[in-house]
Amino acid sequence: MLGAVRSAWRALPGAERVALVVALGWLAAAEALFWGITYDDAWISLRYAEHLVAGQGWVFNSGGERVEGASNPLWVVFLAGCTAAHLPAMTMAKAAGAAAGFCLPLIALALAARLPPGRPHAVGAVLTAVAAPVAFWAVDGLETGVYAGVLGGAVWLATEDLARRRAVPRAAFAVLAAALLRPEGIAFAIPLLWVFWRHGDSSGRRARTRAAGAILLAGFGAFLLWRRLYFGSWVPNTYWAKAANPALWDRGPGWAYLADFLGEWGGPVAPGLAVLAVASPGAGGGGAVLAGGFVAAQAAFVAAVPRDWMFAWRFMVPAWMPLAVLAAAGALVVREVLARAGWSPRRLRGLAAAGALAVAGLAARRAWVLHDQFLPARGGDRSVHEQLGRWLKAVLPPTARVALSDAGAVPYFSGLAAVDLLGLTDPWIARHAPDEIAREVVERRRPEVIVLAEKDRQLAPGVVGLAAVFPVDRLIGAHPGFRAGWVRRGLWAYSNEYDLVVYFRADIQ
């Protein structure tokens, strides 16, 4: 791929080279800006990794049951490897994500020459590099950046497999890696196999498709069998907590999430241009079809599951690069049509400049909004969740338990056994309704500490009080046994949406 990137770079006009260098500098600066932010769920994966290295198995609580409460098994293995090698695992996670995020525009640059209009250009690479969500999720500690990089690499490798007539397609291994990084990753096998079947040399299509199918079936089949034997389930516990139990999260449908994303990022313009690129006569090599298939697969997943809790369009980041490349290809096709229709070069340059200014303004605004959104949660050099976790570790015995919805940094830094109120790491909670969970926690499990996600709200005209964000938190707060049996001990200010309000069981001094 490095050779293709170098060739594409040499073929770029001077202005596009300057634009790409500026965009890559912007991406590096944005990753540096967001480096200090670690999303809470990243600590769930690291807790699993450390327990794995310690010989306790794939467990969330030390000595607890086996439960796949992190939906990124290959990422957990990566973190476990870093931990076993005595490397700072979270720093390594951020570094890997930052590198993958930085590679995305370079993949876009190499891929552009194999899409309409059939010449190297930097437009798609620039659109990828200036996207604030790409930079944010690359360095937050989760697998998102690496996952996006693997999928982008799969598109490129597929075009290489077709161009070089490889009997053993390397793109299949990339899609297999994606399937082990995210539950929905296996869905990208469908567009990959379709492109192998329909494109490339006629003599090798069937053999290439069979080889790719065999790689994916053997690899992912073996993983599914291991999951079933080890955890007793064909799907991760996160499926039961999210897709199968949307009442736990109460975030709305995924199609509305997709619509909101399009509304914020240009409406139907980018998808429309992408469709134009796929339908263009120059799209016969398979690369445009595969990129479009990857975008469609990710959009279908987003629309089919409940709305993602995490902001900054995490679910759209894996589709960002292929969508940007296709939208850029479609825009260049439109440019050629306008040129043939008699538009002057000056008028075309003016249109391109207006588009560039619009993209730059939107990118700058989104980066600043993201930074401001998370700034209150930092609390100095340590996040609010980390501060709370360390405080609980200092004031409570190691046998205490904490129940909360944000089950990442607080359990990790406190070292306490946790009751995950959103069910990601708790099979029983993942499969029950919020009212049943509230009764289970208050009446039977009775943890020493309960942390509710609450915020001062106007509950009625002239009445201000704490209101919980999640359904389970609201029902626990309203339970008579909770009001009688737990005492408020403090509030950790977190965000505009909710704070972390800490309650100790009344018998805890």
Taking only the tens place, the pLDDT of each residue in 170-204 is 999 999 999 999 999 999 999 999 999 888 777 77
What band does 7 get if pLDDT is binned at 50, 70 and 90? Answer: confident
Over 90: is that where the pLDDT of 8 sits?
no
Whether the predicted pLDDT of 246 surpasses 80: no
Residue 255 has pLDDT above 60, yes or no: yes
- The pLDDT value recorded for residue 381 is 45
**Separation of alpha carbons 117 and 343, rounded Å:** 18
Q: Where are the domains of the chain?
A: 2-376, 384-505
- Reported as a pLDDT band with limits 50, 70 and 90, residue 372 is low
355-363 long-range Cβ contacts below 8 angstroms, 24+ apart: 355/331, 356/19, 359/126, 359/127, 359/130, 360/130, 362/265, 362/266, 363/26, 363/130, 363/131, 363/132
The Cα angle at residue 52 between residues 48 and 53, in degrees rounded to 5: 120
pLDDT exceeds cutoff 80 at 378:
no
Residue 279 has phi, psi (to 5 degrees) of -85, -5
Q: Is the pLDDT of residue 357 over 80?
A: no
Question: What is the pLDDT at residue 149?
Answer: 95
User: Cβ distance 72 to 175 under 8 Å?
Assistant: no
Peptide bond before 117: cis, by omega within 30 degrees of 0? yes
Higher pLDDT, 388 or 347: 388
| Model confidence band, residue 373 (pLDDT cutoffs 50, 70, 90) | low
**Among 163-177, 460-474, 482-496, which is the least confidently predicted range?**
460-474
The residue among 166 and 352 whose pLDDT is bigger is 166
pLDDT score for 355: 66
Q: Which residues contact 157 (CB under 8 A, 6 or more apart)?
A: 169, 170, 171, 174
Q: Which residue has the higher pLDDT, 430 or 356?
A: 430
User: Encoding tokens for residue 428?
Assistant: 């029983």
At residue 385 the predicted structure's pLDDT band, cuts being 50, 70 and 90, is very high
Contact 146, 94 (CB under 8 A): no
Asked if pLDDT for residue 380 goes beyond 70, the answer is no
Query: Does residue 178 contact residue 133 with C-beta atoms inside 8 Å?
Result: no
Q: What is the pLDDT of residue 356?
A: 64
Helix (H) or strand (E) holding 262: helix 254-264
The chain-wide mean pLDDT, for the chain, equals 86
Identity of the highest mean pLDDT range in 264-273, 318-327, 489-498: 318-327
Q: How far is CA 472 from the centre of its chain?
A: 24
- Contact assessment for residue 256 and residue 305, using Cβ atoms and an 8 Å cutoff: no
> Whole-model pTM?
0.90
**Rounded mean pLDDT of 137-166?**
91
3-state class (DSSP) for residue 12: coil
3 state DSSP class of 136: helix
DSSP strands (E only) in 119-254: none
Q: Are 110 and 180 a contacting pair, CB within 8 Å?
A: no
Residues 87-126: pLDDT tens digits?
999 999 999 999 999 999 999 999 888 877 777 888 889 9
Please indicate whether residue 336 or residue 33 has the higher confidence score (pLDDT): 33
What pLDDT score was predicted for residue 366? 62
DSSP string, 436-475: HHHHIIIIII--SEEEEEEEEEEEETTEEEEEESSHHHHH
What residue type is assigned to position 1 of the chain?
M
pLDDT band at 379 (very low <50, low <70, confident <90, very high): very low
pLDDT of residue 344 exceeding 80, the answer is no
pLDDT at 112: 87
Q: Assign 377 a pLDDT band (cuts: 50, 70, 90).
A: very low
Please tell me the total number of residues recorded for the chain in this structure. Answer: 509
Task: List Cβ neighbours of 330 (8 Å cut-off, separation of 6 or more).
Answer: 116, 272, 273, 274, 275, 276, 277, 280
Residue 185 tokens read as 């990753």
Q: What's the pLDDT at 464?
A: 45
The CB-side HSE value for 487 (13 A sphere, CA atoms) comes to 6
Distance, in Å, from the CA atom of 224 to the CA atom of 357, rounded to the nearest integer, reads 48
- Residue 493 pLDDT: 87
Distance CA 145, CA 243 (A): 23
Q: At what angle do helices 205-231 and 189-198 cross, to 10 degrees?
A: 160
Res. 429: pLDDT tops 70: yes
Give the per-residue pLDDT at 461: 53
Q: Which of 347, 211, 155, 236 is nearest to 244 (CA)?
A: 236
Dihedral angle of Cα 235, 239, 241, 247, to the nearest 10 degrees: -140
More confident residue, 262 or 94: 94
Band (pLDDT 50/70/90 cuts) for residue 248 is confident
Indicate whether 249 pLDDT > 60.
yes
Summarize pLDDT for 285-316 with one digit per residue, the tens: 688 889 999 999 999 998 888 777 677 788 88
Alpha-carbon distance 151 to 174, whole Å? Answer: 7
* Measured distance CA(295)–CA(16) in Å, rounded: 25
Do residues 502 and 405 make contact, with C-beta atoms less than 8 angstroms apart?
A: no
Q: Lowest mean pLDDT of 270-284, 335-349, 401-415, name the range.
A: 335-349
pLDDT attached to residue 245: 77
pLDDT average, residue stretch 217-241:
95
| Per-residue pLDDT at 283 | 57
What is the structure's pLDDT at 376?
47
- Please tell me the least confidently modeled range out of 104-118, 256-270, 491-505: 256-270
